[in-house]
């Protein structure tokens, strides 16, 4: 089989890239190891920056987002006894949208633009330093296939083969000494907008998916087994850290439908290109979820990459493809810094000196317009062309 762009991975980066390429008149075929149902059901990110929303809208993917998503003006930042609302619209001129990654994924599948082969195995990349790269794999019926292409787009996340095939000049990593225990619960959110809470027992986050489904997280030690956390223990700990009872605020518990532990790390590999292989999304970088940046970075990467590949493959102009890695990395590093900053400001390290610095930083961010605006600009998202 032959196509112009062989896309590896049908997560949001891969499907959106194929969608944007098709709209730009470039052929793409996507291969994915998991089933369509599995990919669509994975519970992950929940917040879209306004530039991500604008991009999805301009790509014809905004109708359900605008109808069913919720625009949030900002977030609540909390320390024991204090809760402050940061209004991003007032501070930075733009808010964010609550719309789950599962929904973005469904919209991409429903658009039907991308040709996707699900449930493939034995994916291998070939000829990356030639102008005729190829991907070999075994399809869902057990038939060995070869996909010849002009370009390969590695959108296969942090465990896929693209990352391993793209020999990095440099790899940067920070592993954090804590994880998140995340739950999904069938209960109306106890808050209008997200609450990020600093607490001496550890960070807590109250997020949501809809008017009837809440998503909450607790900082837990690395290696935590979710089985050690009964539903009652989780709700008790969330109530303590989120300030149940303070100023009459109540956390309403409900049936937990999903429980998982998410380790946290920052990882960047440069460049985001190796010959004819271009990396996008989690295949190129990982951020801890505290800044809500993972999905937004994946969307920003493919916005740049789709433009670059359309120019390369339709007009023969390599300039944007040649600058793709540098262009994308400016935003990647900004988001890597912001995610690290939010993470280190909000998570308990056990060190009393750290705790005082965190509280001082939080007081500055919640009382100074300059401090609040810095957080708002980064959280609500910087322009695509950074």
- Please report, as ranges, the residues that interact with ligand RFL according to CB under 6 A: 8-14, 31-34, 39, 44-45, 101, 123, 155-157, 160-161, 262, 281-282, 289, 292-295, 298
The distance of closest approach from Cβ of residue 22 to ligand PHB in the complex, given in angstroms and rounded to an integer, is 29
The distance of closest approach from Cβ of residue 292 to ligand PHB in the complex, given in angstroms and rounded to an integer, is 4
The entry of ligand RFL, ligand PHB, none that residue 33 binds, CB within 5 to 8 Å by partner kind: ligand RFL
CB nearer to ligand RFL: pick between 32 and 107 = 32
DSSP state of 191: S
Helices H, strands E: what count in the chain? 12, 20
Residue of 99, 196, 217, 324 marked catalytic: 196
The distance of closest approach from Cβ of residue 331 to ligand RFL in the complex, given in angstroms and rounded to an integer, is 14
Residue of 12, 133, 189, 289 marked catalytic: 289
DSSP state of 312: I
Nearest-angstrom CA–CA distance, 255 and 360: 37
Query: Which of 128, 197, 292, 332 is close enough to bind ligand PHB by CB under 6 A?
Result: 292
Detail the DSSP E strand segments found in 242-330: 256-270, 273-274, 277-279, 285-286
Residue 293 annotated as catalytic: yes
Q: Which stretch binds ligand PHB (CB under 6 A): 41-49, 148-156, 297-305, 357-365?
A: 41-49
What does the block give as tokens for 164? 């391993």
Query: Which of 207, 219, 266, 358 is close enough to bind ligand PHB by CB under 6 A?
Result: 207
Residue of 72, 76, 206, 285 marked catalytic: 72
Q: Where are the alpha helices (DSSP H) in the chain?
A: 12-23, 36-41, 50-58, 63-68, 88-92, 101-111, 161-165, 231-242, 294-310, 319-346, 352-367, 369-380
Residue of 137, 176, 324, 379 marked catalytic: 379
User: Helix crossing, 369-380 with 319-346: angle to 10°?
Assistant: 130
The distance of closest approach from Cβ of residue 352 to ligand RFL in the complex, given in angstroms and rounded to an integer, is 29
The entry of ligand RFL, ligand PHB, none that residue 157 binds, CB within 5 to 8 Å by partner kind: ligand RFL
DSSP state of 360: H
Q: Which stretch binds ligand PHB (CB under 6 A): 106-114, 143-151, 289-297, 365-373?
A: 289-297
Q: What are phi and psi of 286, to 5 degrees?
A: -130, 140
Residue 118 annotated as catalytic: no
Residue 274 annotated as catalytic: no
Nearest-angstrom CA–CA distance, 232 and 234: 5
The entry of ligand RFL, ligand PHB, none that residue 290 binds, CB within 5 to 8 Å by partner kind: ligand PHB
The entry of ligand PHB, ligand RFL, none that residue 34 binds, CB within 5 to 8 Å by partner kind: ligand RFL
Q: Which stretch binds ligand PHB (CB under 6 A): 29-37, 42-50, 89-97, 185-193?
A: 42-50
Q: Which residue bears the tokens 């995610």?
A: 339
CB nearer to ligand RFL: pick between 44 and 363 = 44
The distance of closest approach from Cβ of residue 99 to ligand RFL in the complex, given in angstroms and rounded to an integer, is 12
Nearest-angstrom CA–CA distance, 119 and 301: 25
The distance of closest approach from Cβ of residue 105 to ligand RFL in the complex, given in angstroms and rounded to an integer, is 8
- DSSP secondary structure string for all residues of 213-236: -EEEEEEEETT--GGGS-HHHHHH
Across-strand partners of 179?
A: 220, 263
CA angle centred on 33, ends 28 and 39, rounded to 5°: 90
Cα radius of gyration (the chain): 21
162: helix, coil or strand? helix
Q: Does residue 95 belong to the site contacting ligand PHB (CB under 6 A)?
A: no
What does the block give as tokens for 272? 């985001």
Q: Does residue 289 belong to the site contacting ligand PHB (CB under 6 A)?
A: yes
Residue 288 annotated as catalytic: no
Q: Does residue 215 belong to the site contacting ligand PHB (CB under 6 A)?
A: yes
Specify the length of the chain in residues. Answer: 386
Residues interacting with ligand PHB, by CB under 6 A? 45-47, 194, 207, 215, 289-290, 292
Active site residues: 72, 196, 289, 293, 379
């Amino acid at each position: 089989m032959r196509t112009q762009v062989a896309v590896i991975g049908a997560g949001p980066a891969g499907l959106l890239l194929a969608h944007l390429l098709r709209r730009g008149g470039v052929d793409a075929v996507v291969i994915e190891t998991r089933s369509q149902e599995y990919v669509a059901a994975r519970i992950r990110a929940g917040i879209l920056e306004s530039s991500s929303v604008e991009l999805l809208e301009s790509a014809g993917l905004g109708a359900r987002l605008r109808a069913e998503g919720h625009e949030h003006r900002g977030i609540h930042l909390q320390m024991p006894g204090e809760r402050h609302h940061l209004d991003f619209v007032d501070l930075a001129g733009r808010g964010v949208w609550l719309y789950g990654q599962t929904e973005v994924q469904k919209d991409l599948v429903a658009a039907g633009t991308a040709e996707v082969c699900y449930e493939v195995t034995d994916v291998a990349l070939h000829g990356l330093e030639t102008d005729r790269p190829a991907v070999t794999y075994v399809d869902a019926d057990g038939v060995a296939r070869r996909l010849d292409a002009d370009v390969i787009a590695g959108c296969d996340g942090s465990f896929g083969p693209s990352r391993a095939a793209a020999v990095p000049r440099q790899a940067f990593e920070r592993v954090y000494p804590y994880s998140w225990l995340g739950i999904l619960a069938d209960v109306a959110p106890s808050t209008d907008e997200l609450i990020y809470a600093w607490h001496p027992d550890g960070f807590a986050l109250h997020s949501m998916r809809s008017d009837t489904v809440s998503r909450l997280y607790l900082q837990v030690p690395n290696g935590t087994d979710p089985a050690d956390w009964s539903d009652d223990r989780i709700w008790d700990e969330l109530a303590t850290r989120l300030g149940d009872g303070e100023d009459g605020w109540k956390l309403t518990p409900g049936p937990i439908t999903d429980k998982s532990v998410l380790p946290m790390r920052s990882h960047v590999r440069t460049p985001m290109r190796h010959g004819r292989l271009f990396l996008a999304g989690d295949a190129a970088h990982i951020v801890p979820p505290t800044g809500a940046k993972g999905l937004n970075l994946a969307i920003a990467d493919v916005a740049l990459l789709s433009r670059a590949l359309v120019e390369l493959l339709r007009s023969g102009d390599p300039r944007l493809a040649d600058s793709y890695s540098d262009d994308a990395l400016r935003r990647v590093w900004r988001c890597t810094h912001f995610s690290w900053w939010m993470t280190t400001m909000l998570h308990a390290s056990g060190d009393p000196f750290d705790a005082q610095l965190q509280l001082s930083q939080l007081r500055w961010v919640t009382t100074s317009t300059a401090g609040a605006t810095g957080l708002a600009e980064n959280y609500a998202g910087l322009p695509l062309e950074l």
